Structure 1
Amino acid sequence: MKKITLFYRLYAAMLFFISGIAFGQVGINTTDPKGILDINSTTLGVVYPNVNLIATDDPSPVVNPQGGAIVVGTVVYNTNSTDTNPLTDVNPGIYVWDGGKWIIHFKKRQSELFNQTSLLRTEANFAGGWQNVPGLGITDARTFTARYSGLYRIEVKSNFGAGRTSRNNSIFVSMASGQFRFLFGANPARTFETQAFSAHSSFINSGTYFNAISKETYQTYYVTLVAGTTYPFSLSFDAYNAPGFIGNGSTVPNASVNLVNENFNSPYTVVQNHTPDGDCPTNGWVVSTAANQCISCVGNTLNINSNVGTNNCSQNATALISFTPSANTVDINFDYRFNQNASFYDSFRVYLHDGTAQVGGNLVNRVNGNANTSHSSSRAVTPGRTYTLRFEYINTNNGNYASVDNVRISEISPGDVGRGYVGNDVDCQIEFTYIGE
C-alpha cells in the first residue's frame, strides 16, 4: 500500500514538472500566470540586483555567469553616481544593457538655473552700447554643458524698472524702454524689447514719485544641442534715450528736485487736524482766494479765518503737507501772512514732524506781531521716512487770519535717479531644460 501511494505522488510531481516545461510559465502568488513570469502582490516589489555601475559604456561589474559578454536585456539597479563625463555618467536607477551601453529606465532630466547676482542701474546712451547684467554678462563667462543630445528649452526672464520722472507737478507719467540681448553659442544674437512706467502725482501726500516699478518679460527659445558640448551664453541690456526722466535716463550732475511744489491753484485736498466750529467763516484751513493774501501770493492760497470781531469763533487747526525724501537734507520754502488780534493772542506756528515727534525747532512761531513775508531754511531728515510740514493756527475767539502759498520742499538729488533698474524686486534668470531627443 505504501508503494502504491509513493508511486502516485511521484507520478503527480512528474506531471507538474512536465506541465511547467511544456508551458514555460511561472506564477508567484497566482495560479493563473499570464506570462513567462507573473508576480502578484499588493504590498511587495521586485528587488533587482544592486550594482555600482562605472559608466554607461562599461558593462562591469556585471558579468555573464555562462561566460562571454553579458546578455542584451540584462537588468540591474545602479546605486552609483559619477560626474566624470556627461556622455557616460550614471545615476541611481534601473538600467538595461542594449548590447553596447546601459540605458536608464526613467526619463532623462536636466535643468539648470542661472541667476543675476546684483542690481544693474541702466544708463541711456551707454558708451559701450550694451551693459552686462551682473552674473549673466559676457564678462562673467557663463557656460552651459548639455548632458544629452536633443532638444532643449531656454527660458530668459528679464526684469526692468524705470527711474524718476523729470516733472513733478500735477500728474505726470512717462515711459522708459530698452532691449535685452541674449547670446548663446554660435547662434545669432536674440534681442527683445521691454518698457516700464514711472509717475508723479502732486495729489498724493502733496507730491509722490512712483518709480522702479518692475516689469517682467519672458522669452522662450528652443535649440538642439549635442551631449558633452559646452555653450557660452550671456545677457545684456541697452537702455534707450528716455525723455521725461531726469537726465533722459542718464547720469547728470546732482540737481535740486522738488518733493513738494504747491501753489494751490490746481485741485487740492486739505489734510488737517482740527475741531470744526460753525461760528467760524472757514472750516479750519481751506483753499480759496482769500481777501487778505500774503504779499507774494497769487490766486488760491491755503488760508484760515477767525472773523475778527466775532467772539464765538474758536479755530484750532493744523494743516499737514506730507513728503518722503531720498536725501538726508531738505530745503523748505513758503510764503505766508499772519495777522494777529493782539487783544486775544491768536498764534501761527510752522514746524516739521516725522510722525512721532517734532523735528528740530519751529520754522515760524508768531504769537505777538503781524507778518507778511517768506520763509527759507534747511532741515536734516532720514531718507525714506515720511514727514509732514505742519501749519498750526490757534485762537480762542475773536482772532484774525493766516494764509500760506508757494510751498516748495526740495532736495539735492543724486545724478543717477533718472536711470532705470534691471533686477530690483526680482532678478533676471536663465533656465535650460532638456526636452527630449
Structure 2
Amino acid sequence: MKLKITFQVILCITVMCTQLTFGQIGIGTTTPEGILDIESNTEGFVFPRVALSSVLVAAPVVNPAGGTLAVGTTVYNTELTTNGANDVSPGIYSWDGTKWITQHLREDYKRYTQTNVCQRTTIRESTSNPNPNDVDVVAGLDNEVFRPKYSGRYRIEVGVNFSAGEIADFTSQDEISLATSEGSFFFEMSGPGVSIDPTSTSFDYQQGWIYTHSYSTFNSIESPDLEDNTVPHFATVVYYKYLLAGNDYTFSLTNNINTGENYFVNGGDSGTGQGHIGHDQPCSIEFTYLGL
C-alpha cells in the first residue's frame, strides 16, 4: 500500500512538471498547439459574465493576484447603460489598461418612409418666407419615434421630393409656358440632448429648413402638346447627432409651398393644380449608428 501511494505521488509530480515545462493545456485535444487549445464541434467558450457600469470603470472585475486589472482581461458584459458617452451595451469587452474596449460589432439602422406616395399638397398664399406653422404633414412621418440601441453618434439623413402641379394655360400669351412652385420642407426632432426646431428661425437647415422648388411647363410648339411636364426636386440633408440609448426621440416632416398660386390650375389648391409630395420617390428619414 505504501509503495502504491508513493507511485501515485511520483506520477502526479511528473504530470505537474510536464505542465510546468511545456505550459500547454488541451481541452478536447491531446495535442494542444498553444498555451490553451480548445476543440469542440458542438460547444462554445463562455466568457465570464459581468455587469459593467461604464467603459471607464474596471469594477466589478478584479485582478485575483491583487493590484490593477491586467491588460487584455476579457469579459461578457450583460448591462445596457443610458448615461452618456461612456455607456456600455451587452457584448464582449477587453480592458486596455484605462478603459473597456468593445469587441463586438454594433449596428443600429432604421429607415422611416412616407406611406402615401404622390401625396397632394396645396399652395399657400404668397408670403416672404414659408411658414412652418402652416403645413401639410408628410404621411407616415408625423410624430414618429426613434429609440437608439446605443449611446453614440448617429447619422440622420432626411430625403425629400417635391413636384409642382399642372401649369395653367398661358398659350394665348406664349407658345411655351413655364412656372415654378417654391417652399420648404421642415424636419423637426426632439429628445435628450437634441432640439431641431424650424419655428425657431428662418431658412436654417441646421434647424430643419429644407428648401424645395419644382417647375411645370406647357409647350404648344410640339405635336402633340407637351402639357404638365413636371421637373421634380430631390434634396437630402444630413445631421450628425449624439443620441442616448434607450431614450425616445420624436420627429416629424412637414411641407409648405408658398409661391406660384397664380400660375397653376385652380390656384394650386385642388385637382391637377396641386403639387406632389414624394413624386415617384417617397420622402424618407434614416438613422444610422456611427460609433462613440
TM-score, normalisation: structure 2? 0.60
- What residue number does 2:24 align with? 25
1:189 matched residue in structure 2: 205
Aligned residue pairs, count:
255
The correspondence for 1:430, drawn from 251, 266, 285, is 285
2:217 and 2:59 map into 1 onto residues whose CA distance is: 65
Distance in 2 between residues matched to 1:75 and 1:149, nearest whole Å: 22
1:384-434 Cα distance to aligned partner (Å, 9 max, x none): xxxxxxxxxxxxxxxxxxxxxxxxxxxxxx5x7523132478652222323
Answer 1 or 2: which has greater strand percent: 1
Give the structure 2 partner of residue 42 of structure 1. Answer: 41
**Shift of residue 46 of structure 1?**
0.6
Q: Which has the larger radius of gyration?
A: 1
Task: Give unpaired runs (5+ residues) of structure 1.
Answer: 200-208, 252-413
Q: Partners of 1:27 and 1:214 in 2: how far apart?
A: 70
TM-superposition CA deviations, 1:300-325 (whole Å, max 9, x none):
xxxxxxxxxxxxxxxxxxxxxxxxxx
Q: Which residue of 1 aligns with 2:234?
A: 217
Residue 65 of structure 1 deviates from its aligned partner by 3.6
Question: In structure 2, how many angstroms separate the alpha carbons of the residues matched to 1:215 and 1:424?
Answer: 7
Contact 1:58 1:101 in 2 (8 A): yes
Name the residue aligned to 1:277: none
Give the alignment of 1:88-103 within 5 angstroms: 88-103=86-101
**1:349-398 deviation line (CA, Å, top 9, x unaligned):** xxxxxxxxxxxxxxxxxxxxxxxxxxxxxxxxxxxxxxxxxxxxxxxxxx
Instruction: State the alpha-carbon separation in 2 of the partners of residues 44 and 216 from structure 1.
Output: 56
- One-letter amino acid matched to 1:217: F
CA contact (8 A) 1:174 1:245 kept: no
- Quick one: higher RCO (CA 8 Å, sep 6+), 1 or 2? 2
TM-score by length of 1: 0.43
Distance in 2 between residues matched to 1:243 and 1:116, nearest whole Å = 29
Show the counterpart of 2:102.
Answer: 104
CA distance in 2, matches of 1:436, 1:80: 18
The answer as to 2:86 corresponding to 1:55 is no
| Contact residue 155 and residue 218 of structure 1 kept, 8 A | no
Cα distance in 1 for residues equivalent to 2:34 and 2:260: 74
Instruction: Output aligned runs, 1:192-207, within 5 Å.
Output: 193=212, 195=214
The whole-number CA distance in structure 2 between the counterparts of 1:219 and 1:101 is 38
Does the Cα contact within 8 Å between 1:146 and 1:226 map onto a contact in 2? no
Correspondence list, 1:5-404, <5 A: 7=7, 10-82=9-81, 84-111=82-109, 113=111, 121-123=121-123, 126-127=126-127, 129-132=129-132, 134=137, 153-167=155-169, 176-178=180-182, 180=184, 189=205, 193=212, 195=214, 217=234, 219=236, 221=238, 223=240, 238=257, 241=260, 245-246=264-265, 249=268, 251=269
Partner of 1:420: 275
Alpha-carbon spacing, 1:60–1:106, altered in 2? closer, same or farther (3 Å): same
User: How much does 1:77 deviate?
Assistant: 1.7
Q: Could you say which structure has the higher helix fraction?
A: 2
Which residue identity is paired with 1:430?
Answer: I
Q: Which amino acid aligns with 2:157?
A: E
Identify unmatched segments of 5+ residues in structure 2.
188-194, 198-202, 219-226
**Paired amino acid for 1:163:** G
Q: 1:232 to 1:39 in 2, by over 3 A?
A: same
SS at match of 1:15: helix
SS in structure 2 of the partner of residue 159 of structure 1:
strand
CA contact (8 A) 1:162 1:196 kept: yes
Find the aligned partners of 1:2 and 1:243 in 2 and give their Cα distance: 114
Deviations 1:185-211 (A, max 9, x none): 799638565546689xxxxxxxxx989
C-alpha distance in 2, partners of 1:99/1:175?
Answer: 66
- Residues 115 and 135 of structure 1 are in contact (CA less than 8 Å); yes or no, is this contact kept in structure 2? no
**SS of corresponding position for 1:16:** helix
CA contact (8 A) 2:265 2:272 kept: yes
Distance in 2 (CA, whole Å) between partners of 1:55 and 1:248 is 60
Query: RMSD of the TM alignment (CA)?
Result: 5.1
